Amino acid sequence: MSTPVKVAILGTGNIGTDLLMKLRAVDEIEVALFAGIDPASAGLARAAQLGVPVSHAGLEAILADDEVRIVFDATSAYAHREAAPRLQAAGKVAVDLTPAAVGPLVVPAVNLEEHAAAPNVNLITCGGQATIPIVAAINDAAPLAYAEMVSTIASLSAGPGTRKNIDEFTFTTARAIERVGGAQEGKAIMVLNPADPPILMRNTLYAVPAAGTLDEAAVRASIDARVAEVAAYVPGYRCKSVVVDEQDTRWGRVPVVIALLEVEGAGDFLPAYAGNLDIMTAAACRIGRRIAAELSPAAPSPTTEVPA
């Protein structure tokens, strides 16, 4: 077995801490540094108790560690845009869990192999990770003129970073519905639900195939196959319902596909209702494993790819 690739996590909040728990279980990866900027961070204290090297010097500590090869950024879109060129200049591959969209937009079940050698990959958003696999699945069976997603999450699972990034969420997710999912036009909406007890993450996808005959059986089979692919790395991911219904649209009266998706968290650190955060850390873990394989001694060095 090859030596584990050393990685760092930047950001010691809920997402960073949940990712830490997941990555510690990955044989191909060694978390060599858990870094933030708050010396009193509960995440730093927890990581230190687990024996993980920690620092409150943030990005500077990571840049100073020559052995770290992959950096998982769980901060904010603004912070990542500042950090990205410095990480690339230092020869460190960035896995971006913010909606900064500096590098190519990646959904593991759709286009991971395309970008496994990129110096910076972007995980889009939680809503994007949940719905774009299904957009792509429908588009494979019936090319889409339009796809719209509404992501509803528990208010308690939306921390300061999520709330600051709502504008980036809608823009980046809509763009990814088009670029990664394949729809000609995309739209994204986020809803924070204050219900008590907190709800699981729920996503409604509304997809309008381009003019032509819709093969409902082919669409359903494509969705089922893609759900299984996502569930392989996000065990709480499931499709609750798929409805094909003829409706009046701006493209005329055509059959549309409505899919209802749900994500339950694995409970590695965060509560089960925080599926919106769990799907991001699970996707990051899946991407990290693939990049680690790319960086292993048996693999060639990563090539430079122009960011999307």
* Three-class secondary structure assignment of 122-164: ECCCHHHHHHHHHHHHHHHHCCEEEEEEEEEEEHHHCCHHHHH
Residues paired with residue 48 on neighbouring β-strands, in sequence order = none
The percent of residues in the chain predicted with pLDDT above 70, rounded, is 96
In 10 A of CB 141, how many CB atoms? 19
Q: Is 120 annotated as a binding residue?
A: no
Q: Is 13 annotated as a binding residue?
A: yes
Which letter does DSSP use for residue 198 in this model? Answer: P
Query: 70, 79, 84, 126: which one is catalytic?
Result: 126
Question: Between 2.40.70.10, 3.40.50.300, 3.30.360.10, 3.30.200.20, what CATH number should domain 126-273 receive?
Answer: 3.30.360.10
Q: Is 147 annotated as a binding residue?
A: no
Q: Is 157 annotated as a binding residue?
A: yes
Tell me which residue has tokens 């769980």: 74
Phi-psi region of 25 (alpha: psi -120 to 50; beta: other; left: phi over 0): alpha
Give the start-to-end residue ranges of the domains of the chain: 5-123+281-295, 126-273
262 closest CA partner among 221, 234, 243, 283:
234
pLDDT digits (tens, 9 = 90+) for 104-155: 999 999 999 999 999 999 999 999 999 999 999 999 999 999 999 999 999 9
Mean pLDDT computed over 216-230:
97
Tokens coding 271: 């509560």
- pTM score, two decimals? 0.92
pLDDT digits (tens, 9 = 90+) for 51-105: 999 999 999 999 999 999 999 999 988 999 999 999 999 999 999 999 898 999 9
CATH number corresponding to 5-123+281-295: 3.40.50.720
pLDDT digits (tens, 9 = 90+) for 252-308: 899 999 999 999 999 999 999 999 999 999 999 999 999 999 998 654 445 545 444
Residue 126 falls in the annotated catalytic set = yes
Q: Is 165 annotated as a binding residue?
A: yes
| Alpha-carbon distance values, 268 to 21, 74, 264, 278 (Å) | 6, 16, 12, 9
